[in-house]
Every structure is written in structure tokens, then in C-alpha cells.
Structure 1
């Protein structure tokens, strides 16, 4: 049985291990810099300013990885697939999303085990958003 000894601090979350809010803000900001210049992905963001989308993704990822629950407090359950239904997310969009996210992840220079864990999730998440064949 793996019990935490009385008085021992709880194990740090992934969010804490990789540097907390600052790391996720850097990740998502770099990602959206790529999106801003990508004609296919940019079309999925009707807002002139990508700032609100950037903030939503930042808050979602922070919460997912063990940070504050601000995303759910303001937006409710993530319902990611439902929120993406209005958009055509095909294989090209999937690939573009991962290309920009790969650049963003690489810039973080995380420890290899953290990089793998984050990247594996992002690949899974990108695949789960595809809603159009092609």
C-alpha cells in the first residue's frame, strides 16, 4: 500500500512540476503566434483578437494539468468536442494544430519525461477533435 507518510507534502502536480501558470501561458502564446499566421487555422477563430481564445486554452490546460479550476468556474464543463462542432476539423487542421503546438512545446525545453507526457496528451486531444473526414 502506497500511503503518504503523515505530514509529508503531497506530490506536486504536473502543472507545478513544469513551472505552473507561466509555463502554460508561454506554451499557448507561442501556439497562437503560429495560428495567427496560418490561413487554415485562423479561419476557425472569428474574433479579430485571438486573445480570448488564447486565454480559454491557457485556462483549460492549466486546469487539466492540475492548476486552478478557473476554466470550469467561468465556462463550466470543458465539453471540448461539442465546442468544436461548429468548425470543420479535418486531418489538415489536425496536422496544422499539432505543427504549431510542436513548435510551442519545443520552445519550453521541458524535461524529457514532461515533454513526452504533454505531447502524448496533445496528440490525443488533436485526434479527438477531428469531426470531418479528409
Structure 2
């Protein structure tokens, strides 16, 4: 059965797995050099974190449910509790994400939709005043 344009998921509309993997890879290139954010990723190699984040975003936006099949419910706030996420970390995270998103050059409407979600998600992860 073929989907109509109205039924097409955001995931498919923006280019599917390739687009989300590229976004997350570009994002982690910034994180790798960030003195504030890098310590939040205890693994020597950022690859596992990159993979988890890519799978999460793909699932959230209508792609395969691989993230939940491997990790269960996302529980984003719970998974971030061990880390000090303050306004500075929030701002740094969004700065790297904005840089990555800009490199995708998505259509303006898609860019706005994804950015709106990312800014909302980043704000909801703050768990420390200051």
C-alpha cells in the first residue's frame, strides 16, 4: 500500500535514516570538542552515544522502532539524571545542534519543526539550577 503525501512521516519526508545519522554525526563532532559537554559522555568513543541518539531520533520522527527494541522506553529525563544539565549545558547542546541542523539545509518548514522539538527537549533536560 502506498502512502499519500499527507500520510508521509517526517522521517521519510526529510530523507530517513541518512538524514538523521548525518545530523547526529555532525552534532557529535561539536560535542567531541566541547569542554562542558564532552565529560557527560563517559565512553572513550562517542560512537555508542551517537548510535543511541540517532536511533532515538529516527524512532521519534516515524522511522524504525529499533531504539525501543534495544533500550526500552526512552525515559529521557531519567537517563540524564546522572549528569549536571544546567543552562550552560543546555545552551552548548543547542549551539552544536543548531550548527549540525544548519548543515542539513532542510526545507524551512521541516527545519522549524525539528528545531522546535529540539529546543523543547533540551529545555526539559535541565536538572540543575545555575
Question: TM-score, structure 1 length as denominator?
Answer: 0.94
Q: CA deviation at 1:8?
A: 6.3
Alignment-derived partner of residue 9 in structure 1: 3
Question: TM-score, structure 2 length as denominator?
Answer: 0.96
1:59 corresponds, among 55, 58, 61, to: 55
Deviations 1:71-98 (A, max 9, x none): 0000000000000000000000000000
Q: CA deviation at 1:9?
A: 2.5
Unaligned stretches of 5+ residues in structure 1: 1-6
Alignment-derived partner of residue 4 in structure 1: none
- Asked if 1:85 corresponds to 2:81, the answer is yes
CA distance in 1, matches of 2:62, 2:42: 30
- Asked if 1:118 corresponds to 2:111, the answer is no
CA distance in 2, matches of 1:27, 1:53: 13
Unaligned stretches of 5+ residues in structure 2: none
In structure 2, the CA distance between the partners of 1:108 and 1:84, relative to structure 1 (3 Å rule), is: same
1:109 corresponds, among 89, 105, 110, to: 105
Alignment-derived partner of residue 26 in structure 1: 22
Structure (1 or 2) with the larger CA radius of gyration: 1
- Asked if 1:39 corresponds to 2:35, the answer is yes
CA distance in 2, matches of 1:8, 1:72: 26
Aligned-pair Cα RMSD in Å: 0.9
Q: How many aligned positions are there?
A: 128
CA distance in 1, matches of 2:41, 2:124: 19
- Asked if 1:131 corresponds to 2:123, the answer is no
Alignment-derived partner of residue 70 in structure 2: 74
